[in-house]
Structure 1
Amino acid sequence: MLQKKAKFDIRSEKLKQMKKAVAIEDGRAVKFPLEQQLLDEEAKLASLSDELDKI
């Protein structure tokens, strides 16, 4: 469980940093891939959150 909690914490921090990067990026060629990565990371975090809720 601690390992999953650590993964959750790391992913949460990564998500926070990615949101900042998307917010400050103004180039569409860079912003679009960042937004796609952000969506992917949100999905992974949600899945991990569900796993932690089951424990």
Structure 2
Amino acid sequence: MEYTTVPFGDAQDKPSGSCIRRFKNAITLYNQVRLSLSLDFKTPDMVYKLTA
């Protein structure tokens, strides 16, 4: 198997706008929508706001 090296910072390494949007959306869903069993069916944001 042959590996090729691509210099760091090449234009192909830069994430697209839609990729960043999907990543931010996933973080928002995880922190604000998804209920966690280990947090007594609260979201991480709810717990953070209660302790802050």
> Please, what TM-score do these two structures have when normalized by structure 2?
0.39
Greater relative contact order: 1 or 2 (C-alpha under 8 angstroms, separation 6 or more)? 1
Q: Which has the higher helix share?
A: 1
Larger Rg over CA atoms: 2
